[in-house]
Each structure stands twice: as C-alpha cells, then as structure tokens.
Amino acid sequence: MAHDLFQAAQAAMAKAYAPYSKFPVGAALRTEDGRVFAGANVENASFPEGWCAETTALGNYIMGGGGKITEVAVIAERMAKCSPCGGCRQRLAEFCQPDTKLYLCDNAGVVETVTMADLLPYGFKGDILK
Ligand code: THU
C-alpha cells in the first residue's frame, strides 16, 4: 500500500510549479477511510510567497473533508529521502498522530519509513488554544 501512495506523490510532483528552484516535490497522504490527497510545491517570483508540496496536500485534504491521516509520502526527484521542512512538520503534526507513518522516497519507491514523532519531537501543540 505504501507504493501506491508513493505513486500518488510522484504524480503530484509532475505538476510542481518550481521554475526558480527547479526542485519539484510531491506529497500524498491517505486517510483511514482510504481517501488520498496529493500536492506539489508552488513557487512564486516573490520567493517567500511560494509553498511546499506537503502544504498543498494538506489544503486538498481539508477541502476534501479531512479525517484521520494514516500515512504520508514525500518525494523530490533531485533528492532521495527528501524530508518535510520544519514548517511542514508543524503543519503535518496539526493533523497527524505521533505514530502516523511518513514514507521518504526516491524515484523508485519508498526508501525509509519514519513516524511523525520521529520528525517533530517536542512540537508545539495547540490544545491549550482551543
Ligand atoms: N519543498 C517542499 O515542497 N517540501 C519540503 O518539505 C522541502 C522543500 C520545496 C519548496 C521549494 O519550492 C523547493 O522545495 C526548494 O526549497
């Protein structure tokens, strides 16, 4: 099952808008009921206004109804095991559980599986803000 999420991330990467960095990234996540949401990075001539593939995928996930995320895959064609940036770790942690699996990929498939807790230990949690 990890491989089909990898393929969804790879298909999303093909849609990346990355004319400045030329570093296309794709991300895909699956909810417990089997829905898959994917996204690519979207850059901007005003560089800080661009955003990451994981962020696009999360936007699609929210617009698709949200739910419990069970797995996430990330791929960058120019870097094996591209790992979500710090900001995306925080965004993913908002909707993932500590044991949610993240698949770090190369162009052939999943290379390494880590958990959300591996990627963001001691992350800020918003419970007190609710
Ligand atoms: N990028 C992502 O899409 N996800 C990450 O987790 C790391 C970085 C994008 C942002 C930018 O468009 C390009 O990769 C180079 O930093």
Q: What is the pLDDT of residue 1?
A: 79
| Cα–ligand 1 centroid distance for 76 (angstroms) | 8
Q: Are 70 and 101 in contact (CB under 8 A)?
A: yes
- Does the domain spanning 2-129 belong to CATH 3.40.140.10? yes
Ligand 1 pocket mutation pick from 17, 25, 102 by most atoms within 8 angstroms of CB:
25
Single-letter residue type at 73:
A
For residue 77, indicate whether it is catalytic: no
Q: Which long-range contacts link 47-53 to residues 24+ away (Cβ below 8 Å)?
A: 47/20, 50/20, 52/25, 52/27, 52/84, 52/85, 52/87, 52/88, 53/9, 53/12, 53/13, 53/16, 53/25, 53/26, 53/27
Percent of the chain with pLDDT over 90: 98
What is the token pair recorded at 83? 């790992």
Looking at 32, 49, 54, 71, which residue is catalytic? 54
Burial of 115 (0-12, 13-18, 19+ CB in 10 A): middle
Residue-wise pLDDT tens digits, 73-124: 999 999 999 999 999 999 999 999 999 999 999 999 999 999 999 999 999 9
Q: Where are the alpha helices (DSSP H) in 64-113?
A: 86-95
